[in-house]
Each structure stands twice: as C-alpha cells, then as structure tokens.
Amino acid sequence: MSDKTEKTKDDKPSAMERIAAFIVDKRKAFYLLYIGFAIFCVFSGNWIRVNDDLTSYLPATTETRRGLTIMDEEFTTFGTNRIMVDNIAFTQADELAEKIRKVNGVKEVAFDNTEDYYKDGAALFSITYDGTATDDVSLNALDGVKKILDGYDVYITGDTGNDDSASLDAEIQVVMIIAVVIILLVLLFTSQTYMEIPVLIMTFGMAAIMNKGTNFIFGEISFVSNSVAVILQLALAIDYAIILCHRYTEEREHLNAHDAVVIALSKAIPEIAGSSMTTLSGLGAMCFMKFGIGKDLGFVLMKAILLSLLSVFTLMPGLLMSFSKLIDKTHHKNFVPKITGWGKLAVKTRHIMPPIFIVLIVAGFICSSLCPYAFGMTDLTTMRKNDTQIAQERVNDKFGKQNTLAVLVPVGDYEKEGDLLKDLDKMEETDSVLGLANVEAMDGYVLTDKLTPRQFAELTDLDIEVARLLYSAYAVDGENYGQIVSGVDKFGVPLVDMFMFVYDEMQAGYVTLDSDMTKTIEDLHVQLSDALKQLKGENYSRLVLQLNVPEESDETTAFLDKVHETAAKYYGDDTCLLVGNSTSDFDLSTSFSNDNLLISILTIVFVIIVLIFTFKSSGLPILLILVIQGSVWINFSFPFLQNDPLFFLSYLVVSSIQMGANIDYAIVIANRYVELKKTMPLKKATIEALNQSFPTIITSGTILAAAGILIGILSTNPAISSIGVCLGRGTLISIFLVMGILPQILLLGDTIIEKTAITMKLKLTSQNRSGNMRVHGHMRGYVSGMVDGEFNGTIRGTLNAALETDAVENEEEESANGNEE
C-alpha cells in the first residue's frame, strides 16, 4: 500500500491529536520504559503472597473469623493426614503402622482392628505430626511415611503436604497455553492483516506481565485472583486493542502510516475509554462486597484493565508504526462472513422473539432464584480430578467423611467444661467429643479431676508428706495462702495442673522422685504439653467434636443452634464460639445474601449511569440492561435445572463480569443501530448493524467464552472451575441474546429510544408535513424531497444536489485534506 496523503501545515491538530503524536513520535522512549518495567515485573512477580484460605476474607465480625483468629493466637493445631492403604491384610497393615510410628516427626498413629480403621481389605492410618501442617518436621515426616508405603495402593488425604497453590498454578499454565492458541486462531479468522496479530500479542503480553508483577502492592492476593486474573484480563480487554487496530486500518486507507496511527489513536482513546467504563463499573461493584474476596478480585482485575488501557494507548501505537510496512504487506481477505440472512431473519421475527424472550427471562428469574448454592467446596465436583480429590473420594467412600467442629469456651472452669462435654457427647449428631475434661490420665482419672494430696500420693506412689509439701508449694506458687492456713489435706488441684507443676519442680531440682516415677512424669509431660497446646489457651479452652451430619444442610444448621444453646446454659449468651467448615459455610451464606443484593443493584446502577452518558438516552440503557440481566438469570437457572450445587462465589463474580463486560456486545450493536438509522430505514439499519457488529462480537465473545470454558474443564479447584463454567456459559448466552433478541427489541422499542433521548433543551415540536415548506431554526429528523436554500449544519446520509463551489466537505476527511503523494 502506498502512502496516499499527508496532513497539511494548515491543519490545526486537536489536543487529543497532539497527545497521540507525542506517543507515536516518542515510541522508542516508551519501548525502553516498557522493557525496563517488564524486567522489574519478572522479579517482582515472585514477591506476591497468595492466600489459599477463603475464610480469611470473611468479615471480622463473623463467628468463624473471630474463632479462627483466637485459635491462631492461642492454640497449636498439629498437622495430620488420613492415609488409606487398599488391598492389604490386617496383619500387614498393623506392621506398617508400627513402622510409621517410628518415623521421626510422627507424633501418633491411630490404627486398630475396628471398622473405623480397617474395612473390606483397606487400612486407614490417622497420623498426627510433631509440627503444624506447614512445618518442615511434618513435611519431612510425611516424606518418610511415603517411603514406607511405596509400592502399596496408597491414598493420602489431609492438610499436611497438600499444596493446592502449586497444583492450581500448573493447571492455569496449561489453560494459558491453550487459551493463547485459541486466541491466535480467532484473531487469524477475524483479523484483516496477519502482522497485526503479533502486535496484539506483544501489547497484551506486556499488560499481563505488568499486572502480574504489580500485584505485590496489595501485599497479599487470593488464589482466585492469582489464578484467573491473567486469563480474564486477556479475554476482557483484548477489545481495546482490536478497536485501535481497526481504526488504524481505516485511516491507513487515505493517510500515511504516521498520520494514520496518530488519527486512529486520537479517535480510539475516547471510544476505548468509554467501552472500558462498563467493565470497570461491574468490577468496581464487586469491591463493595462484605466478603473480602470481592474487593481482592475487583482490585486486581480493575488494575488489569487499567494497565491494559495504558499498554494499548502508549505501547501499541508505536508497535503499529514500527510494523506498518509489514502490516501493509500482509493484508488478507476477510474471513468473517456477512450475516445479512441472520439480520433479515431478525427483522422478520421482531414480533415473535421478544414475547419468547419475556417468557425466558421470567422463567430464568424464577429458576435462578431457586439456584442451589454451595458455600463449602467439600461436596462440589469438577470435570477433572487431581490426585488429592481422587484420594479423598476413595477414603470417604470406605470410611466416611469427617466433619470437625471446634467449640471455644472461656478458660478456667474445668467442671463446666466437663458437664458441657457430657451434654455434647449425648447428642445424636456427635460421634466423639474431646476436651481436657474428658481425656483420661491414669487409673480412671481424667486430666481435669481435682485430687487431694492423699489421692495424688496414692496415684503416683509418693509419700503422703511429700505430696503435702508439693501441694503447699503449689498453693504458694499460686498465692493461695488460705489453703495453707486451713490445711492442704482437702485442697483439690486438677491433675493436669499438678503434673505440670511437679515436672517444673523436678526440672528446677526441688523435687526428686524414683526413676520409674520420674520416667512416668516425663512421659506424661510430653502428652500433657501437646494436649494443653491444642486444647487450652490463654483465654479460651477448645473442645473438638467429630460430627456425623453433612457439612451443609438444614440439619447441620439446627445442630449448630443446639450447641449454642447448650453452651449458653453454662457460659451465658455470646461467650462461646463455634469454628469449623459448617460454621464457615453458614457465615458465607449469611454474607452472600447481603452481598448478592448489593452487587446486583450497584452493578446495574453503575452500568446504567455509564450508558446514559454514552447514548444520551434513558430508555436505550434500560433495554440493553434487560437483555444482559436476562442472560444472567438464564445462566444461573442451569444449576437449578441440573440439580447441581453452584459455588456461591461464581454467581457474585460472573454476574458482575456479565453485566460489566458482556454488555459491551449490546453496546456495539446499539451504537451501530443508532448511527445507521439516521441514514437508512430502521429495518435496513438493523440488518447492517448486525453485519458491522458481528466481527467485534464474535472475536471478543469467542475469546471470553473459550477462556471460561477452558478454566471450567481443566481446573480441579472447585471454586475456579465453577467460575469458568459459569463465565463461558454466560458469555455464550449473552452472545445469543444480543445477536438474536436485541435487534428485534431495538426495532420495536425505537419509539421509546427516541422519546427518552436526552438532548439540548430546544423547544422542538413533532411535525409531519408534506408539500412546500419554509423552515427557520433548528431541525432534527429526516427529510426526503427537494430542498433549496442556505444551510449551515451537518448532513448524515447521501448528498445529490447542486452546490456552491467548496460548500461541502466530508467531516471524516476534514483533517485529511491535502496533497496526494
């Protein structure tokens, strides 16, 4: 292609053109800046801390969040694993259990010949380690256990050694590779030149690197944001680069490369900025969620969109300029077909499809309101399963699921703890209960039983006088002098406290016992120390319950209420806390009900405001919102119709993205329709609007739908997979409604669009006349016939008239008039 025209010296560039020219002229400086920033981001990407725990994003006032904070501060939770070995004899399994107990770092192995641990040729080892789940001592011990079990049919579950982040990162890398291949194929199909594709890839590759490398500014981000942000950034923001590419191609038809880039950028900046506002509005609404994951994901994706805009506005123009010759040489035929037939069908069905759509959205609203939400990930399924999920299913099938509940009660009253544990143990919903007040120590005594000096002497074979001296010393240590004055013979001290006191006195050299008793005290000290770390804190004691109810159900919710009521009998209202997966799910459900309404309202309000400013109409935005909101309702009807629980986070995230991003498809068609109807009949405008919009919608929609579907199919994380499935399905539904329903709605609703147009407050009255007329003043509408007179204004359409010399010029070419080369 030859450069046809250049701008003349008399043309006065606008402010936007001067900015665009600066960006293009200084492109090498921008290249250096981006290269330097990219190198920085490669290193800073490793500074990001990823949080795998969704409960940490619960509001600080929720019971689960308060309880978890207390447990982190006051208790130690040792790492555990439930390891099943299938197809093994009991004697062989028992030998393995003994070998595992000898592994350094293994604290305890629970295994016996009951159905809780051996069933149908499968053995279950419940292993507790010396450290927490992430401590090296626990991880090294697990490695030792794996070596012992090497060669057996082994299934490992539990919190120790379960690196979900590494597994998710590996999956997302695969998704990214496949997504890039799909994007390349889509761009090859929809592009106008082959060389624009590398420009698009370089532009968004840089934007993705910058977004990933700047996430450290948040300190910590969730695993959801870390895994899906790059893919969603590419899928949501590639429209911006495509718009600039198309603008450049149009301007290049009659301008040299430099001027074409400058003019294209000056025109594209306001267009792209306007398009991005709906997406930013939808993501911004997520930031108002009480559940902190919304703010986390909203901030990361909003930053991604802004960095994509920056890359498109400041990097891509230079790339277009630098590769302009190659772009010129690699033009190819347009592979995107015209869809005139579809447009004609849309016109013919304008009285059929809208009523069907009304039925669909009413049904969608009803079904989506009945959507079965899940607030925990235990019972969710994914299309693919990783080794951990397969192992969990096998163990659960053989030995049943575990549902653990911690009850935190004020510390200091062992009798109340004991009575509460007895009440809880009697409940049908509990399989076992554990607390200091029901752990057996020696000879039938539990750790919290109060023993007198004589009872303690009999238990430990101590001389009674030595026991009395120990009790007196204990009273002095606790500044309980009244017991010494009244005599210590009736002084009862909890067994656990006395054992710990005796051990401390032995270590200090104040007490000397025989070798057998010394060894007994030392062994007891290890066990008691572990028990105290897990069950007794500075302000709270922890009771641990194993439940036989599902993690999420009405029965479980009723049981939690019953536990609260029972604990309140001993400690009063609002003093005890319940912590577990079941309470987390309940708190998430409570937060969701509030966030759902808030996000829905804010998203619609924000988008409507943007659309009103875009179209200068109050009626058209309502029509567009109706179509996209209908797609949201239909999308979330599927879980109800399939009787498949939907992870609640999927609804909050995807509904915001659908309303904020998919509505761009509707905006593209509406924009074309509004412009075209000024120069042609409404039916023809509708058909042509679909033809002109189809390449943009099919490009953007295919990429976003493909990204979502890939995430849904390939991710084994239930939360991520659920978001992907809903996003892919919702995008496809949005495309269908925008292409198959919106045109008819625009045709039938044109009167509403016109009557709700926001224009300058001119006193205009509707006129419908024919014949010869003289018009003075402002006129808006359509004229068909012979005109003769002096005019000063804009004509949008086809001109066929006698004119004074140079009395007319095309607005689009106004800035391009000059001498041809």
pLDDT in tens, 529-548: 888 899 999 999 999 999 99
The long-range contacts involving 195-201, CB below 8 angstroms and separated by at least 24 positions, are: 195/323, 195/326, 195/327, 195/329, 195/330, 196/245, 196/249, 196/320, 196/327, 198/323, 199/241, 199/245, 199/316, 199/319, 199/320, 199/323, 199/327, 200/238, 200/241, 200/242, 200/245
Q: 404, 296, 295, 408: which is closest to 63 by C-alpha?
A: 408
Q: CA–CA distance from 466 to each of 290, 477, 481, 664, 739 (Å)?
A: 60, 16, 18, 85, 92
Distance, in Å, from the CA atom of 663 to the CA atom of 730, rounded to the nearest integer, reads 12
What is the structure's pLDDT at 777? 57
Residue 458, amino acid: E
Q: Which residue's entry shows tokens 């199919």?
A: 713
What is the structure's pLDDT at 819? 40
Strand, coil or helix: 221: strand
What is the structure's pLDDT at 279? 85
CA-based Rg of the chain, rounded to a whole angstrom? 36
What is the structure's pLDDT at 814? 40
Complete DSSP assignment for 76-135: ----EEEEEEES--HHHHHHHHHHHHTSTTEEEEE--SSTTTEETTEEEEEEEESS-TTS
Distance, in Å, from the CA atom of 164 to the CA atom of 52, rounded to the nearest integer, reads 8
Distance, in Å, from the CA atom of 705 to the CA atom of 711, rounded to the nearest integer, reads 10
Quote the DSSP letter at residue 403.
E
Within 10 angstroms of residue 452's Cβ, the number of other Cβ atoms is: 17
Distance, in Å, from the CA atom of 611 to the CA atom of 617, rounded to the nearest integer, reads 8
Q: CA–CA distance from 272 to each of 578, 774, 811 (Å)?
A: 50, 42, 21
Within 10 angstroms of residue 332's Cβ, the number of other Cβ atoms is: 10
pLDDT in tens, 171-188: 888 888 888 888 888 888
Complete DSSP assignment for 569-589: HHH-TT--EEEEHHHHHHHHH
Distance, in Å, from the CA atom of 109 to the CA atom of 106, rounded to the nearest integer, reads 8
CB 367 within 8 A of CB 641: yes
Q: To 10 degrees, the CA torsion angle through 185, 188, 191, 192?
A: -170
CB 75 within 8 A of CB 577: no
Q: CA–CA distance from 247 to each of 265, 314, 331 (Å)?
A: 8, 16, 15
Strand, coil or helix: 801: coil
Q: How far is CA 258 from the centre of its chain?
A: 42
Q: Where are the alpha helices (DSSP H) in 440-514?
A: 453-460, 464-477, 481-486, 495-508
Which parts of the chain sit beneath pLDDT 50?
1-3, 8-10, 760-762, 764, 805, 807, 811-821
The reported pTM is 0.79
Q: Which two tokens stand for residue 308?
A: 């994509």
CB 654 within 8 A of CB 726: yes
What is the structure's pLDDT at 818? 41
Distance, in Å, from the CA atom of 805 to the CA atom of 795, rounded to the nearest integer, reads 17
Distance, in Å, from the CA atom of 630 to the CA atom of 733, rounded to the nearest integer, reads 9
Distance, in Å, from the CA atom of 746 to the CA atom of 526, rounded to the nearest integer, reads 77
Q: To 10 degrees, the CA torsion angle through 258, 261, 262, 263?
A: 120
Strand, coil or helix: 818: coil
CB 268 within 8 A of CB 243: yes
**By CB neighbour count within 10 A (0-12 exposed, 13-18 middle, 19+ buried), where does 35 fall?**
exposed
Within 10 angstroms of residue 196's Cβ, the number of other Cβ atoms is: 26
What is the structure's pLDDT at 697? 87
Q: Residue 109: phi, psi to the nearest 5?
A: -130, 115
Distance, in Å, from the CA atom of 532 to the CA atom of 527, rounded to the nearest integer, reads 9
What is the structure's pLDDT at 799? 54
Q: CA–CA distance from 646 to each of 195, 228, 297, 775 (Å)?
A: 42, 18, 19, 63
Q: Which two tokens stand for residue 787?
A: 């005109």
Q: Which residue's entry shows tokens 């108002």?
A: 288
Q: Which two tokens stand for residue 436?
A: 């200091």
**By CB neighbour count within 10 A (0-12 exposed, 13-18 middle, 19+ buried), where does 181 fall?**
exposed
Q: 565, 587, 747: which is closest to 673 by C-alpha?
A: 747
Entry field: residues in the chain: 821
